[in-house]
Amino acid sequence: MIKLTIQVVNIGVVIASYDKIYIYTSDAENGSYTLLDSISLVAGTSTYTYNHTTGTSATWYRSSYFNTTTSAESALSNATQGTSPTLYHGITYPEEFDFTAIEDVIILKMRQIIGDIKGLGRLYIDGSTDTECESAAILDDDKTIDIDEKGWPVFIAVNGTEFTTTDNPIVNGYQYITFSGALASTDVIEIWYHIFEFADVQLYDAYCNAMMPPMVNSDCVTQDHLLLQGAIDLLEGALMSDTIGDFAMIRDDQTVYDPSGGAGILRERGKVIERLRKQLDGLVKECIRSCMLGLEGILLD
């Protein structure tokens, strides 16, 4: 399912001439668009949402304004893609970065390639009743909460008061949430958060910084090339970090830390990287064959 958000600029002027938003859809950005559905305009309302239940990350959309009395229709908007619905409805704590709809689709594709689909977690602390283990989430500075997972909050409330800006509290290291003032021992704290291995910013940076495949002209490089290369770069970095960090054997003169159980995780991550490399190699070969050499047809031997 895909969620569309349509922003009407100057609703007062628009609603004087039109009463509907028409939504069109296509499988290609520059393809043929067909009418999908309509939304009624409401005076004073500038933001409208539409859930396309059969839409995918590959679906494209355009919209127009329509007058059902005169059949007058405005020009179509530029083509755009929607976003997948959120796990948590009623998000009030801002995202780390306000990506565009097209950038959101790139991030979603990266998550699908890597297998890092967001989960949802909740931390609830009632200072008057919580156990010592639950209260341990509040660190010694009495301002910072450790959610004990890598994630980003979508809802934060203390004693029923919601926090809706990234200025307070601030998120450090995708794990620590620090308030500007001290938390009281009797506070009731509720935090909902997305869980992930790679943050949206990390995924998009990897895509933007992905190197073009060797021997391929820049004119021939596609989004798929960069998605696969970015995913490989991220996973190889994580594999290296795990190898020398969490899953490395540490020995001193008295003790041995042997995380041999993590060897299976390293092997599986290596298999994913190898699979992605094969996909990228296949794309590169096809690109060289069709785009650079201009070869068509089937080779008969």
pLDDT tens for each residue of 175-196: 999 999 999 988 999 999 999 9
Q: What percent of the chain has pLDDT over 90?
A: 46
Measure Cα distances from 153 to 92, 130, 169, 187, 196 in Å. 9, 21, 10, 18, 11
Instruction: Give the CA-trace dihedral at 90, 81, 202, 139, to 10 degrees.
Output: 0
What is the per-residue pLDDT across 106-161, written as a single tens digit (0 to 9) for each?
998 999 999 898 998 989 888 777 554 555 689 999 999 999 999 999 999 999 89
Express the helix, strand and coil content of the chain in percent, nearest 5 each.
Answer: 30, 25, 45
Q: How confident is the model at residue 240 (pLDDT cuts 50, 70, 90)?
A: confident
The H or E element that residue 239 is part of is: helix 223-244
State the pLDDT at residue 299.
Answer: 47
SS3 of residue 143 by DSSP: coil
The 10s digit of each residue's pLDDT in 38-81 is: 999 999 888 888 888 888 878 899 999 999 999 999 999 988 88
Cβ density class 239-273: b for 16+ within 10 Å, e for less? beebeeeebeeeeeeeeeeeeeeeeeeeeebeebb
pLDDT band with cut points at 50, 70 and 90 for residue 253: low
Average pLDDT, the chain: 84
Q: What is the Cα 180 distance to its own chain's centre?
A: 28
CB burial of 177-188 (b: ≥16 within 10 Å; e: otherwise) equals bebeeebeeebb
Maximum Cα interatomic distance, the chain, rounded to a whole number of Å: 87
- Residue 149: partners with Cβ closer than 8 Å, 6 or more residues away: 121, 175, 193, 195
